[in-house]
Chains A and B, each alone.
Chain A
Amino acid sequence: MAAHPNTHHDHHELPFWRKYIFSTDHKIIGLQYGITASFFLFFGFCLMMLMRWQLAYPGQPLPIIGQYFGDANMPGGIMLPEFYNSLGAMHGTIMVFLAIVPMVFGAFGNYVTPLQIGAPDMCFPKLNAISYWCYFAGGIIMLTSFWVPGGAANSGWTSYSPLANIATTGQTWWLIGMVFLITSSLLGAINFIATIVQLRAKGMTWFRMPFFVWAQLVTAFLLLLAFPPLEAAAVMQLMDRLAHTSFFLPSGLVVGGEVMEVSGGGSPILWQHLFWFLGHPEVYVLILPAFGIVTEIIANNTRKPITGYKSLVFSVLTIGFLSFIVWAHHMYLTGMGTRVSAFFQTTTILISIPSVIILTALFISLWGGSIRFNTPMLFALGFLPMFGIGGLTGLPLAFNATDIPLHDTYYIIGHFHYIVAPGTIFAIFAGIYYWFPKITGKMMNETLGKIHFWLSIVFMNGIFMPMFIQGMAGVSRRWYDGGSSYDIAQGVLYLNPIMSISAWLLALSQIPFLINLFWSIWGGKKASDNPWDATTLEWTATPTPPPHGNFKTPPVVYHNPYDYSMPGAKKDFTPQNQPVEA
Chain B
Amino acid sequence: MDIPYIVKPRPDTGVFNAKLGIWLFLASEVMLFGALFSSYVLLRLGSPDWPRGSSILNVPLGTFNTIVLITSSITMVMAWASLMLKNFSKFKLYQGLTILLGAVFLVVKAFEYGAKFEHHMFPKTSVYFAIYFTLTGLHAFHVICGMVVNGYLWGPGSKMWKTQPERFTNRVEVSGLFWHFVDLVWIFLFPVLYLL
A259 near B: Cβ within 8 Å?
A: no
User: Are A243 and B123 CB-contacts (below 8 A) given A5-B3, A553-B1?
Assistant: yes
Contact flags B19-47 to A (C-beta < 8 A → 1, else 0): 01100110111011011101100110011
Contacts of A123 in B (CB 8 A): 3, 17, 21
Segment with Cβ contacts to B, from A78-86, A170-178, A264-272, A413-421 = A264-272
C-alpha gap A243/B7 in the complex (Å): 45
B152 at the interface (CB under 8 A from A): no
A64 interface residue (CB < 8 Å to B): no
In the complex with contacts A5-B164, A235-B134, A263-B130, A228-B28 CB distance below 8 A = yes
For residues 54 through 87 of chain B, which have their beta carbon under 8 Å from a beta carbon of chain A?
none
- Cα–Cα distance between A120 and B2 once the two chains are bound (Å): 7
Q: Which residues of A contact B167 (CB under 8 A)?
A: 5
Q: Is the CB of B17 within 8 A of A198?
A: yes
Q: Which residue of B lies closest to A551 (CB)?
A: B1
> Is A2 part of the binding interface, using a Cβ–Cβ cutoff of 8 Å?
yes
Proximity bits, A182-204, B CB within 8 Å = 1, else 0: 00001001110110011100000
Q: How many residues from A make CB contacts under 8 Å with B?
A: 57
State in angstroms the CA–CA spacing of A270 and B40 once bound together: 10
What separation, in Å, do the CA atoms of A512 and B2 have in the docked complex? 41
Please name the residue on chain B nearest to A240 by beta carbon.
B130
Q: Is B187 an interface residue (CB 8 A)?
A: no
For B164, what are the chain A residues with a Cβ–Cβ distance below 8 Å?
Answer: 2-3, 5
Q: Which chain B residue lies CB-closest to A192?
A: B24
B20 contacts which chain A residues (CB < 8 A)?
A: 193-194, 197-198
Q: State which of A191, A225, A232, A262 has its C-beta within 8 Å of the C-beta of B27.
A: A225
Bound-complex Cα distance A427 to B40 (A): 41
Contact with B along A117-135 (1 / 0, CB 8 A): 0011101110100000000
In the complex, the answer to whether A5 meets B35 with C-beta atoms within 8 Å is no
A396 at the interface (CB under 8 A from B): no
Instruction: Name the residue among B29, B42, B124 with the largest chain A CB count within 10 angstroms.
Output: B124
Q: Does A244 contact B (CB under 8 A)?
A: yes
Contact present for A199 and B4 (CB under 8 Å): yes
Minimal beta-carbon separation of A548 from chain B (angstroms) = 9
* A245 neighbours in B (Cβ, 8 Å): 123-124, 127, 130, 134
Interface: B52 (CB within 8 A): no
Partner of B21, one of A5, A194, A231, A270: A194
Answer whether A232 and B32 are a contact pair too, CB < 8 Å, given A5-B167, A262-B124, A273-B42: yes
* Across-interface contacts of B25 in A (CB, < 8 A): 186, 190
Chain A residues within an 8 Å CB radius of B38:
229, 273
Closest A residue to B125 by CB, please name it.
Answer: A263
Contact with A198, one of B10, B32, B123 (Cβ below 8 angstroms): B10
- Complex partner residue of B124 from A189, A194, A199, A246, CB under 8 angstroms: A246
Q: How far is the CA of A186 from the CA of B27 in the complex (A)?
A: 11
Q: Which residues of B contact A549 (CB under 8 A)?
A: 1
Residue pairs across A and B with CB atoms within 8 Å: the count is 145
A327 within 8 A of B: no
Give the complex CA separation of A539 and B123 in angstroms.
57
Q: Chain A, 6-18, contact with B by CB distance < 8 Å: what is the 0/1 string? A: 1011000000000
Are B35 and A186 in touch, CB under 8 angstroms?
no
A505 interfacial by beta-carbon distance below 8 Å: no
Q: Does any Cβ of B come within 8 Å of A302's Cβ?
A: no
Q: Does any Cβ of B come within 8 Å of A90's Cβ?
A: no
A205 to chain B, nearest CB (A): 10
| B28 close to A225 (CB less than 8 A) | yes
Query: Is the Cβ of A3 less than 8 Å from the Cβ of B163?
Result: yes
B138 at the interface (CB under 8 A from A): yes
Give the docked Cα–Cα distance between A127 and B21 (Å): 11
A554 interfacial contact with B, CB 8 Å: yes
Task: Give the interface size bracket for B toward A.
Answer: 35 or more
Q: A249 to nearest B CB, angstroms?
A: 9
B39–A270 CB distance below 8 A = yes
User: Whole-angstrom distance between the alpha carbons of A27 and B21 in the complex?
Assistant: 21
On chain A, the residues within 8 Å of B2 by CB distance are 4-6, 8-9, 120
CB-contact partner of A190 in B24, B42, B125, B131, under 8 A? B24
Given contact pairs A123-B17, A224-B27, A243-B124, A198 touches B43 in the complex (Cβ within 8 A): no
Contact A267:B1 (CB < 8 A) given known A5-B167, A243-B124, A247-B127 = no
Specify which chain A residues have a CB less than 8 angstroms from the CB of B185 in the assembled complex: none
A225 and B6 contacting across the interface, CB-CB below 8 Å: no
Chain A residues near B21 (CB-CB < 8 A): 123-124, 127, 190-191, 194
The closest CB in chain B to the CB of A553 belongs to: B1
**Which residues of chain A are near B163, meaning CB under 8 Å?**
2-3
A193 contacts across to B, CB distance below 8 A: 20, 24
B117 located at the interface, meaning its Cβ lies under 8 Å from any Cβ of chain A in the complex = no
How far, in angstroms, from A229 to B28 measured CA to CA in the complex? 9
Q: Identify which of A6, A190, A265, A551 gathers the most chain B CB atoms within 10 Å of its CB.
A: A265
A residues near B35, Cβ cutoff 8 Å: 228-229, 231-233, 274, 277
Q: Does A227 contact B (CB under 8 A)?
A: yes
Indicate whether A141 reaches chain B with its CB closer than 8 angstroms: no
The answer for the CA separation of A262 and B129 in the assembled complex, in Å, is 13
Distance in Å: Cβ of B46 to nearest Cβ of chain A: 6
- B127 contact from A3, A265, A550, Cβ within 8 A: A265
Q: How far is the CA of A216 from the CA of B134 in the complex (A)?
A: 34
B127 touches A246 (CB 8 A): yes
| Residue numbers in B under 8 Å from A457 (CB-CB) | none
When distances are taken between beta carbons in the complex, the residues of chain A under 8 Å from B123 are: 239, 243-245
CA A124 to CA B134, docked complex, whole Å: 31
Residues of B near A263 (CB, < 8 A) are 124-127, 130
The residue that A224 contacts in the complex, of B5, B28, B36, B47, with Cβ under 8 A, is B28
Across the interface, name the chain B residue whose C-beta is closest to A224. Answer: B28
Alpha-carbon distance A265/B10, docked complex (angstroms)? 51
Q: Which of B24, B32, B36, B127 contacts A266 (CB 8 A)?
A: B127
Query: Chain B residues near A199 (CB, 8 Å)?
Result: 3-5, 17
Cβ distance B63 to chain A, nearest Cβ, rounded Å:
27
Would you mind naming 5 contact pairs between A and B with Cβ atoms under 8 Å apart?
A226-B31, A231-B32, A235-B134, A265-B47, A269-B42
Please give the residue numbers on chain B whose beta carbons come within 8 Å of chain A beta carbons, in ascending order: 1-7, 10, 13, 15, 17-18, 20-21, 24-25, 27-29, 31-32, 34-36, 38-39, 42-43, 46-47, 122-127, 130-131, 134, 138, 163-164, 167
Please name the 8 residue pairs, one residue from A and one from B, whose CB atoms are nearest each other, closest first: A229-B35, A228-B32, A120-B1, A245-B130, A228-B31, A244-B124, A232-B35, A265-B127
A residues in contact (CB < 8 Å) with B: 2-6, 8-9, 119-121, 123-125, 127, 186, 189-191, 193-194, 197-199, 224-229, 231-233, 235-236, 239, 243-247, 262-267, 269-270, 273-274, 277, 549-554
| Further contacts, 12 of them, CB under 8 A, given A8-B3, A243-B122 | A5-B6, A123-B21, A190-B21, A190-B25, A198-B5, A227-B31, A228-B29, A228-B35, A244-B124, A247-B127, A264-B127, A267-B43
